[in-house]
Chain A
Amino acid sequence: MTEFLAALSEHAFLQRALAGGLLASIGCGVMGTYVVVQRISLLAGGIAHAVLGGMGVAYFFGHAPLNGALVAAVVAALIIGFVKLKLREREDTVIAAIWAVGMAVGIVFITKTPGYNADLMGYLFGNILMIGTRDLWLIAALDLAILLLVGLFYRQFLAVCFDAEFARVRGVRVDRYYLLLLVLVALTVVMLIQVVGLILVIALMTLPAAIASRFLSSLFAIMVAAVLLGGLFTTAGLALSYGPDLATGPVIILLAGSTYLLTAAVRGFGRQTGR
């Protein structure tokens, strides 16, 4: 740990990694809470994996993969949202299809791109140590957008998540807010890809909020706790992986996952002895 702290003061890339992890935790905790209480993890997973398609296409045409990811994430969110709202299609089938097709498109384009594709693993599993200053600005901008919109429409989002039918009777534009919520989830996915990669995104998005929701019973409180937990996991993951030179993203997820299991056990035990 002291080794990590010494290295942190010395290396700019570690400072950027730390800042990136902490910044990403903000949007992650807020949007992860919506994903958990609305039970749309599968949906968020579909968006996350479809993102590879956009990254691959952008990569092939020589653009920044992250820009492709942003476009693909928003498009996937809108398609999935539209299917869910308007078509009586089997939602899980559509999500699974978008999930796989997005990845297939991504792999096809990435493998067709000339040169050595060292970045592919980075997209899939993240490379927080490679976060650049430009990435930090992007994550900060996405945070700002998420906080602004959630702050502005907190009640509408709450009403839509809690009881969409009632919200509709009250004249709330349920479909519009639902799609906006999905787009914000998509933006969060993109910013977390830098940290843990698109395969691990869903765990980092949902586990902090899921842990918090075991102990707290207001949406806002869960959001705050999820942000703090996310920051804790990314920071601790960074510190623990640095010394033994482990892959940071997976270590972050293992920390979050084991904490989740631990709290599940504690709650289960507490419930049994409480009777």
Chain B
Amino acid sequence: MNMPALVLERVSFAYDHQPVLTDVDLVVAENELLGLIGPNGGGKSTLIKLAAGLLKPDSGTVRVCGRSPSAARQEIGYVPQFAGFERDFPITVAQAVQLGRLGSGRLRWRKKDREAADRAIAETRLEPLQNRPISDLSGGELQRVLIARALAGEPRLLLLDEPTSNLDQRAEEDILQLLARLSERMAVILVTHDVGFVAGGVQRVACVNQTLMCHDTQGLTGDAIEALYGHSVRLVHHDHGEHP
């Protein structure tokens, strides 16, 4: 029996008494690629932050690989929202990726840390850019740096908050392929505005709008979705009866 990468049980969260998530249940298996969609302010980012341990639920429990997010932080790879990022910060690609190895008490990088960072750089095809300052990078390249930084920590659960906003379509497909590949060895949860992105390798979609509804990507006639998304889709099954 395999341990799920993420379990939310009756999780509720409010910002200043304004409920954002109410009684959310979610189980994400260890090699699953899950897309989170939903309207702005619907709670997608909040859900990611709860899973990352950045926020504590008002009620309910969050378990990452069977432990609390703070106990399991070595298993969590976090890719923050692109928009809130200082583009002119003086740091090179390699330095930024290495920060993904940072843990609580350690002061020096060990050989293991450098190797893990190098692997993450190779996996995201950033080798030719590794000594460039991040201010030189395109949006897609910077996004790959943020993913590489998360991968450097060798996570079992990768959380991405809108990894494809601000990207052109090619860069977006690039990221999608990478995530599909990564989901062969870790659980990947991504927030996206972009319904087209959901069409890719995503196995399941969760629609977050204060409550959460999961949709398997199988068993749905593609036509309706294709019409809706204007995209070749092989997923999404709206089963809103799950939460009466």
**A interface, how many residues as a size bin?**
20 to 34
Most chain B beta-carbon contacts within 10 A, residue among A158, A163, A167, A221: A163
B102 touches which one: A156, A213, A216 (CB < 8 A)?
Answer: A156
Cross-chain contact A172 with B90 (CB below 8 angstroms): no
Most chain A beta-carbon contacts within 10 A, residue among B52, B86, B90: B90
B80 touches which one: A158, A163, A222 (CB < 8 A)?
Answer: A163
Cross-chain contact B102 with A37 (CB below 8 angstroms): no
Cross-chain contact A218 with B53 (CB below 8 angstroms): no
Cross-chain contact A168 with B103 (CB below 8 angstroms): no
A267 within 8 A of partner (CB): no
B107 within 8 A of partner (CB): yes
Cross-chain contact A37 with B103 (CB below 8 angstroms): no
Distance in Å from the Cβ of B94 to the closest Cβ of chain A? 10
Cross-chain contact A170 with B54 (CB below 8 angstroms): no
* Residues of chain B contacted by A134 (CB below 8 angstroms): none
A219 within 8 A of partner (CB): yes
0/1 string, B93-124, CB within 8 A of A gives 1: 00110011011100101000000000000000
Cross-chain contact B153 with A170 (CB below 8 angstroms): yes
Nearest neighbor of B74 in chain A, beta-carbon distance: A171
* Residues of chain A contacted by B107 (CB below 8 angstroms): 152-153, 155
Nearest neighbor of B96 in chain A, beta-carbon distance: A162
**B interface, how many residues as a size bin?**
20 to 34
A169 within 8 A of partner (CB): yes
Cross-chain contact B54 with A158 (CB below 8 angstroms): no
Cross-chain contact A162 with B99 (CB below 8 angstroms): yes
Distance in Å from the Cβ of B134 to the closest Cβ of chain A? 8
Cross-chain contact B89 with A162 (CB below 8 angstroms): yes
Distance in Å from the Cβ of B38 to the closest Cβ of chain A? 21
Cross-chain contact A170 with B102 (CB below 8 angstroms): yes
Distance in Å from the Cβ of A95 to the closest Cβ of chain B? 20
Cross-chain contact B90 with A155 (CB below 8 angstroms): no
Complexed CA–CA distance, A184 and B76 (Å): 32
B90 touches which one: A153, A159, A222 (CB < 8 A)?
Answer: A222
A82 within 8 A of partner (CB): no
B53 touches which one: A153, A161, A169, A217 (CB < 8 A)?
Answer: A169
A112 within 8 A of partner (CB): no
Could you list which residues of chain B lie within 8 angstroms of chain A, going by C-beta atoms? 52-54, 70, 73, 76, 78, 80, 85-86, 89-92, 95-96, 99-100, 102-104, 107, 109, 133, 135, 149, 153
Leading 6 A-B pairs by shortest Cβ distance: A217-B133, A171-B104, A169-B78, A170-B102, A171-B73, A217-B90
Additional 15 contacts, C-beta under 8 A, given A37-B90, A169-B52: A152-B107, A155-B107, A155-B109, A156-B102, A161-B89, A162-B86, A162-B91, A166-B80, A166-B149, A169-B54, A171-B103, A213-B90, A217-B133, A218-B90, A218-B95
